[in-house]
Chains A and B, each alone.
Chain A
Amino acid sequence: MRETWVVGAAQNRFGRMNETSREAATRVAMEAILQSGLRPQDIGYTFVSNCLGITEHQGHLGPLINSGLGIPHVPSVSVESACSSSSAGLHEAFVHVAGGFADAALVVGVEKLSHVDTLTATSYFTVGADYPFETKNGATFPGLYATLATAYRKRFPTTPEMFGAVAIKNHANGTRNPHAHFQKEISMENYLSSPVVAWPLRLYDCCPFSDGAAAVVVAAKDVVQRPVTEPLVIRASVRSGSVTDMQDRPDLLGLPAARLAAERAFRQAHLEPKDIDFAEVHDCFTIAEVLALEDLGFFPKGTAAPAALEGTTARDGKLPVNASGGLKAKGHPVAATGAAQVVEVFEQMNGLAHGREVPRAQTALTHNIGATGGSCSVHIFSRR
C-alpha cells in the first residue's frame, strides 16, 4: 500500500443552499482541488455521495460534476451509505490511491432538502431505517436513537444535564465555525425547555436537517511533489457493518459497527485511543456522541455521559470532541457529513480553524455512522 494523504478539503456554509446540489458540489470540489495544488486533470477517480438527489430529480451526479470540473472523461461512481456516505467515499478513494489504481481521487458529498417540507424531509431521512420492520412499525430516526437513550439511562446513572451539556458544547463550538449551520449558543435552560421530539430526546438533542456540500482530495505521497498544504496522512481507513435493526442487536448500549471499526482502525494505525488529540464524532443526537466516545474506546462503557458536563470533551479539554460544532451545530447534510468531518481535521491541522483551534492537532479521528449503525466509517489522520 502507498502512503496516502488528504491534500485538500473544502465545504460550503451548511444550512440552506439556494443553488442545486450539482452546483454546490462542483464548487466545493473545485475549491478543494485548487487548494491542494493539484489540477482537476490530476484526478483519476471521483466518488460522489448524494443520498436524496431524487428530491431534485437528479441522479448520476458524478459525470455532471466531473464535466463541470472540465474532466468529463474521468470515471465516477455514486457511493451511498446513508449518513456515512461520503466517509464511505473517502474509504473508496483511499483504497484506489493506496492500492495504486489512481494517483489522486476526489470525494464529494452533497445534500439539499430545504426545498421540501419538514414532514417530507423526515420521511426521506427515515429511508435509512428498515422500512417493513422499523418504519412501518412506527419508528422515526429520533425514535430509534431514543430507544438507545432509554436503554442507556436505565443501565447507567445519568442526568438530563449530561446530555444537555453535549448540545451546549457543540453549539458553543459552532459559534466559532463560519461553516456551521447554527452559530448561536444555547443555555441549559434553553435545552431543558425545548420540546420533546422522542422522549427523552428534546429538540436540542437532535441535529438539524441541513443543506451542504463538502469535498476531499486524496493523493499518493509519491505523486505529490511539493505539497502546498499540510497534508493529512491517512493512518487508518476502516469501514464496518452491523445488523441494521434494533431488534437484532445483541445489546442496545452502543453501536456494534462502531466498536468493530474502531478496533480495526486503531490496529491499522498502530495507535491507541490515548494517542488521539481530537475527534469529530457522529452526534446526530446527543446520545450518539456519548455512545461514540465509548464505542471508540475513549471512555469505558457507561462512563462517557458526564464528559461534556465536566469539560473533558470541550475544545480546550483533554479530548476535544466536535470542535467544528458537530452534526448538532455545524449541521447534517446527510451525504456531505463524512467529508465535512475531514474538512474540520484538515482546517485544524492547517491552522485554518481560526478561533476554534484545539490545543494539540497532530493526530485526529473521525467517526461517521450510517443511519442507526448499520454501517460505520472510522478514519485516523496524522500530520507528517
Chain B
Amino acid sequence: MVDSMPDAPHSIAEFVKGYEEGGTLRGLRCPSCGLVTATWGLACPRCGHHPLEEHELSTKGTVAAFTILTVPGEEFLNDAPYAYVVVEMDGGGSVTGWMPTVRAENEIAIGDRVRFVTGYKPGVQFAKEPNPSGSG
C-alpha cells in the first residue's frame, strides 16, 4: 500500500513552481511538428504526437493581445486595474499572464516587448521591456 502516487513527470505543479520560484517558463515541445506550448499535456495539441519533450520557453516576447481588467477575478481583487496579456514568446510558444504595473489601455499596445518576471503571487507575470522603436 502506498499513501500517494509518486510525482508524475510534466506535472502542472512543476509549471506553476517555475512561475513562482524558478523564474522559468516551463513548456513542452513536440519533437514531431515542432509546436511549443506552455500548457500542460501529454500529447501535441496540433499533431497528436506523444510524448512531448520538456522545453523552457524564452522569457521575452511580444504582446499579441491584451485587456485592462477593472473588474478582476476573486484572487486578484486588490490588484485591479491590471493588464492581462497574450504574449508570443521569442523562439516559439505563447503565454498568457498579467501585468500589475500596467493600469490603463494607453500604457500598452499590441507589439510591445515584455519580459517574464517572478511575481509576488502565483501566476505568470510580465513587465514591460524598453520599446526598440523608442516610442513606448
> Are A and B genuine complex partners?
yes
Complex CA distance for A245 and B39, rounded to whole angstroms? 8
Assess whether B15 is in contact with A140, with CB atoms less than 8 Å apart: no
Whether A143 is near chain B, meaning CB under 8 Å from some CB there, is: yes
Q: Contacts A246-B96, A248-B37, A248-B94 hold; do A132 and B65 have CB atoms under 8 A apart?
A: no
Whether B105 is near chain A, meaning CB under 8 Å from some CB there, is: yes
Q: How many residues of B contact A (CB 8 A)?
A: 38
Contacting residue for B68 out of A133, A135, A198, CB 8 A: A198
Q: Mark A127-154, 1 if CB is under 8 A from B, else 0.
A: 0001011111111101110111111001
Complex CA distance for A149 and B82, rounded to whole angstroms? 17
Nearest CB of chain A from residue B50's CB, rounded to whole Å? 16
Assess whether A147 is in contact with B39, with CB atoms less than 8 Å apart: no
User: Interface on chain B toward A: helix, strand, loop, or mixed SS?
Assistant: mixed
Assess whether A246 is in contact with B65, with CB atoms less than 8 Å apart: yes
Assess whether A130 is in contact with B39, with CB atoms less than 8 Å apart: yes
Residues of A within 8 A of B67 (CB): 142-143, 146-147, 149-150, 198-201
Residues of B within 8 A of A243 (CB): 39, 45
Contacting residue for A248 out of B39, B70, B72, B73, CB 8 A: B39
Nearest CB of chain B from residue A180's CB, rounded to whole Å? 24
Residues of B within 8 A of A148 (CB): 65
A118-126, A166-174, A232-240: which lies at the B interface?
Answer: A118-126
Whether A34 is near chain B, meaning CB under 8 Å from some CB there, is: no
Assess whether B64 is in contact with A151, with CB atoms less than 8 Å apart: yes
In chain B between 24 and 72, which residues have their CB closer than 8 angstroms to a CB of chain A?
A: 37-40, 45, 64-72
Whether A225 is near chain B, meaning CB under 8 Å from some CB there, is: no
Complex CA distance for A245 and B84, rounded to whole angstroms? 14
Contacting residue for A138 out of B12, B15, B73, CB 8 A: B73
**Chain B: CB-nearest residue to A201:** B67
Assess whether A138 is in contact with B68, with CB atoms less than 8 Å apart: no
**Chain B: CB-nearest residue to A131:** B12
Whether A247 is near chain B, meaning CB under 8 Å from some CB there, is: yes
Whether B117 is near chain A, meaning CB under 8 Å from some CB there, is: no
Residues of B within 8 A of A144 (CB): 84
Contacting residue for B70 out of A123, A139, A150, A199, CB 8 A: A199
Can you list 17 A-B pairs with a CB-CB distance of less than 8 A? A119-B77, A133-B39, A136-B75, A137-B97, A138-B79, A140-B71, A140-B72, A140-B73, A146-B67, A147-B86, A148-B65, A151-B110, A199-B70, A200-B105, A247-B96, A248-B94, A252-B65
- Beyond contacts A122-B71, A136-B122, A252-B86: 18 other A-B pairs, Cβ-Cβ < 8 A, are A119-B74, A122-B74, A123-B74, A132-B16, A136-B123, A137-B84, A137-B123, A138-B76, A138-B84, A146-B84, A147-B65, A150-B65, A151-B65, A154-B65, A243-B39, A247-B39, A247-B86, A252-B64
